[in-house]
Chains A and B, each alone.
Chain A
Amino acid sequence: MKDSRYFAERRRDIVLTLRRFFYEKGFLEVETPLIIQAPAPEMHIEPVRSEIGFLITSPELHMKMLIARGFGNIFQICRVFRKGEFGKVHLPGFTILEWYRTNADYTDLMKDCKELFSYIANCINCFKVSFRQSMLTPSEPWKIITVEEAFVKWAGWNPIKQWNRDRFYIDLVEKVEPHLGFPQPCILKNYPASESALARIKESNPEVCERFEVYWGGIELANGFSELTDPVEQRRRFEDVIRWRRLHGLPKLPMPEQFLEELEQMPKTAGIALGVDRLVMIFSGADCIQDVVLFSEEFLPHGNT
């Protein structure tokens, strides 16, 4: 019988394994503030405001500041908060794992992901899992497909050549994602250049950025990219987002000035965020994120969640 205690034990095993994986690779575990003065402005992520600052939507900016200060490879497991997200794989508060690798690009992170999944499978002795209606396996080989290939194949159009943001996200959810990550995880890479405010543009193809996502069983698990390290370009992109938010009547967000200042010192880096609850959910064959999060009912929408 899979009850909340079963899922709590499964979570403990997996989180323990995540830590061990990064300790063995020499990554330093860090803790950065959960309340900050200026989150990275995003078009589609709404931070929760507290009386003394914003709850983080990701520890990204502060972890990158540590990289700029010479910390080297680091990781963190923490809670993040995003307003208004409640569904079968969404909660307005969830656990995230982020790791940053210096002198690396997004292909190094893809290798990390494959290794990490095999490592978890070995540690918790889980090589096959029944998730929803599918039998999944974390083992290699993983499929790698570009956004362009995936959209041409399943949605019938090319978002790299003819950009249409509204259509892109609807088709991503309805036509592309349902095919990704069966039975092994799958990497969807090279997003349209406009779709990541913090990723580096691919030199050999400036229409796309060096960003990828890991999908498993149709569920988005991780989002990683080669980090943009040019503070001038970064400020321009934040300004674009802030302008877009104003045009769409979204709450005003401050410019992350301190981050931009420190970004100057950041070496070549690649960073990634992985949804820990979703990872636990799939590895333990739970139907929805609520099954693996204790007291998730605290997040039930009551108007302003």
Chain B
Amino acid sequence: MGATLNAGDLRKGLKLEIDGEPYLIVDFEFTKPGKGQALYKCRLKNLITGVQFDKTYRSGDKFVEADTDEQEVEYLYKDGNNYYFMNMTTYEQVEMTADQLGDAANFLTENLKVNMLFFKDRPIGITLPNFVELKVIKAEPGVKGDTASGATKPVTLETGYKVQVPLFVEEGDVLKIDTRTGSYVERVSAK
């Protein structure tokens, strides 16, 4: 179990365990009417579901720091619904399900190094690099003459992820993708 904390210890970036789940304080504000009690306004993000909510605490409230740990892992392979990683510190194999990974699964390629967050020694999520490079495995040829700016077409990347790209992109091209938005940034190399 994590350390016990008081309201006065709350700050942005701290992780708390609430009802058995880990939360991150993503926004924090201390307020206090001169003669009144101190209030600690927090925006909390559930580290498993990603759901955010606001909660105001008072002096006297007690908290438990979430027992979390972040480690570097390398993505190995996918088997059915499961994704396997190698913990680069312990060399143990760790698995996560597609559900747990959510959209992050769209950007995993063999040997990609990511940070994995553990809660009570169980993996709960990964932090991807902001940009990854992925190969186009399926693209319809662009229609000749259609150069209207802003025109796009869908292509399929090596992870199975479908993304809208400019018409000049072809099968075999390598694209830079922003993992935070899931969108195309630029073509890194042509086939």
- Could you list which residues of chain A lie within 8 angstroms of chain B, going by C-beta atoms? 42-45, 84-90, 165-166, 168-170, 172-174, 177, 195-196, 213, 220, 223, 248, 273, 301, 303
A234–B30 Cα distance when bound, in Å, is: 31
Whether a CB of chain A sits under 8 angstroms from the CB of B144 is no
Partner of A85, one of B29, B38, B58: B38
Least Cβ distance of B59 to chain A in Å?
8
Interface string of B48-87 (1 = CB under 8 A from A): 0000000010111000000000000000000000000000
Inter-subunit contact A88/B29 (CB<8 Å) = yes
Inter-subunit contact A173/B39 (CB<8 Å) = yes
B31: which A residues are within 8 A, CB to CB?
87, 89-90, 173
Q: List 30 A-B contacts (CB under 8 A).
A: A42-B35, A43-B35, A43-B37, A44-B32, A44-B35, A44-B36, A44-B38, A44-B59, A84-B8, A84-B38, A84-B59, A85-B38, A87-B29, A87-B30, A87-B32, A88-B29, A88-B30, A165-B37, A169-B33, A169-B36, A169-B39, A170-B39, A170-B56, A172-B33, A174-B56, A177-B33, A196-B35, A220-B33, A248-B60, A301-B8
Whether a CB of chain A sits under 8 angstroms from the CB of B146 is no
> What bracket does the count of chain B residues touching chain A fall in?
10 to 19
- Could you list which residues of chain B lie within 8 angstroms of chain A, going by C-beta atoms? 8-9, 11, 29-39, 56, 58-60
A45: which B residues are within 8 A, CB to CB?
35
Inter-subunit contact A223/B39 (CB<8 Å) = no
A157–B81 Cα distance when bound, in Å, is: 54
Tell me the nearest residue of chain B to A196, going by C-beta.
Answer: B35
Inter-subunit contact B32/A168 (CB<8 Å) = no
Inter-subunit contact B35/A195 (CB<8 Å) = yes
A169: which B residues are within 8 A, CB to CB?
33, 36-37, 39
Least Cβ distance of A257 to chain B in Å?
23
Inter-subunit contact B35/A86 (CB<8 Å) = no
